[in-house]
Amino acid sequence: MNNVYAADEPIPLLKRLNWQDWLYAFLLMAGSIYAFNYYNHHMDVYEQGFLFGAALIFIWLGWVWRPVRALVVGVGALSLFAIYLYDANLERAEQVFFLKYLISSQSGIMWMNVLFILATVIYWVALFNRSEFTGKFASSLAWAAVLMGFVGLMVRWYESYLIAPDVGHIPVSNLYEVFVLFCLITALIYLYYEQRYATRQLGGFVMLIVSAAVGFILWYIFDRQAHTIQPLVPALQSYWMKIHVPTNFIGYGAFALAAMVGVAYLLSSRGILASRLPSLDTMDDVMYKSIAIGFAFFTIATILGAMWAAEAWGGYWSWDPKETWALIVWLNYAAWLHLRLVKGMRGPVLAWWAVIGLFVTTFAFIGVNMFLSGLHSYGEL
């Protein structure tokens, strides 16, 4: 057979893997088995499933998007180092240099905040300078922020167990923790598209919303001391939280990203920054891809939420304000996708819609907790 076309043929995923991919997979599986051996008696069968499920998901993610490998290994190594430094003593957060200034959960999250804001600034500088190098620097900062944020969350998870074994829980249980998660997921989805579309020009826009979230986190820390770890109320003590919340935030993150790309699209279509931004078609495509993935995950999250509600509140759907607004968000993006996929609509209308969609989403995310009362009252301001 002809060599040329064999080279062009798509290679199945498993055949594309190199030794590093396998080493990475081995590390993750070995880590999970180790954790399972040590802690399985503290986990119910679902949580055991999640442990290995998470390992498989991150192996797959690392295989299809290589930078994830470095991120996962980095987060793992730094978190383990922090745990080693803690030596099961919470007071060491203030005594050990590395913990105090770098990788205790609070320091980690602070570094994340600083790095995200820097990344935002540098992305904008890169946009105006049209500088490839500056853009790369901004990406590195964003990656570093993601690394520190995840380390912060991981270490926070460990710290919660140091407060008291019965206080320990995954850090996705209150508004502060999910805001950190929101920053991380939005940034990660952005970084994926940045690589996929080989364009860094959208970074400034997307990082603006991440920076806004960082601003909220800072206010929340300094004004409300929201970073103190609180024990879980009985309603949240469930394995469902571990899947419902992160899935939801993939949705929120993707919607936020789409809205910011929508802003860039609208500016560009009016000739503002048009020469510096990617083509309208590219932005349109990013917006669509982002809303599509957000919609898929938001759907799953809502279903998981319904299943949890059936177990905790006595019904899969109670027309609680949060549930109702989730439905409104869902209908909103369902209509968006319908118009695009079925009616073939393109252009500024959809961009506007994505931007307005963010307001609806934000209301569902925080507005409901601020203005309406209901069963989802964990994240009260």
Partner 1 sequence: MQTTSKRIYDLLSSMRFAVSLLTVLGIASIIGTVLKQNEPYTNYIVQFGQFWFEVFEVLGLYDVYHSVWFLLILVFLVLSTSLCIYRNSPTMLREMRLWREHATEKSLRAFSHRHEYQAGGSTEEIKAKLTRFLATRGFRYKTVAHEGGSELIVAKAGTYQRLGYIFTHLAIVVICIGGLIDGNVPFKIQELMGYKKVETLDIPASEVPAESRLSIANLSFRANMTLPEGTSADVSFMRMRDGYLVQELPFTVALKDFRIEHYATGQPKSFESDLVITDAELAEPLEATISVNKPLTYKGITIYQSDFQDGGSNLDFKMWALFGDQVVSLPVKGVVHEQLVLGEADEAVTLEFDDFRKFNILNLSEDGKGKLQNVGPNVTYKVRDSQGQAREYVTYMQPLQLDGRYYFVSGMRATLQEDYKYLRIPVDDEFQVDGFMRFRAVMMDAKAHELIASRLSASALPAGGPNSEVQEKFESSVRQLLKAFALGGYTRVAALIEESVPEAEREKAAQTYIKIINGAAYEANNLARELAGKPAANPNEETVLFLQDSLNSLSDLFFYGTPFYMQLKEYEHREASGLQLTRSPGKNLVYSGSVLLVLGIFAMIYIRERRIWMLVKPDNRVLFAISSNRKNRDLDVEFSKYQEQLQRLLA
Q: Which residues bind partner 1 (CB under 8 A)?
A: 2, 4-5, 8-10, 164, 166-167, 225, 230-231, 233-235, 237-238, 281-282, 284-285, 288, 292-293, 295-296, 299-300, 303, 306-307, 310-317, 319, 321, 324-325, 327-328, 331, 335, 337-338, 341-342, 344, 368, 372-374
Q: Could you tell me the smallest distance in angstroms from the CB atom of residue 10 to partner 1? A: 6
Cβ distance to partner 1 smaller for residue 29 or 310: 310
Could you tell me the smallest distance in angstroms from the CB atom of residue 255 to partner 1?
Answer: 15
Q: Contact, 83 vs 158, CB < 8 A?
A: yes
Cα separation values, 233 from 150, 167, 173, 221, 367, Å = 24, 10, 9, 21, 22
Min dist. Cβ of residue 283 to partner 1 (A): 10
State in angstroms the smallest separation of the CB of 321 from partner 1.
Answer: 4
**Cβ at position 50, least distance to partner 1 in Å:** 16
- Cα separation, 20 vs 1, whole angstroms: 31
Cβ-based nearer residue to partner 1, 25 or 354:
354
- Give per-residue burial for 269-305: e unless 16+ CB within 10 Å, then b: beeeeeeebbebebbbebbbbbbbbbbebbbbbbebb
Q: Are 306 and 316 in contact (CB under 8 A)?
A: yes
Q: Which CB, 23 or 380, lies closer to partner 1?
A: 380
Rounded to 5 degrees, φ, ψ at 361 are -60, -45
- Looking at the Cβ atoms of 157 and 297, the one nearer to partner 1 is 297
Closest approach, Cβ 375 to partner 1, in A, equals: 11
* 35 vs 327 by CB, closer to partner 1: 327
Shorter beta-carbon distance to partner 1: residue 50 or 313? 313
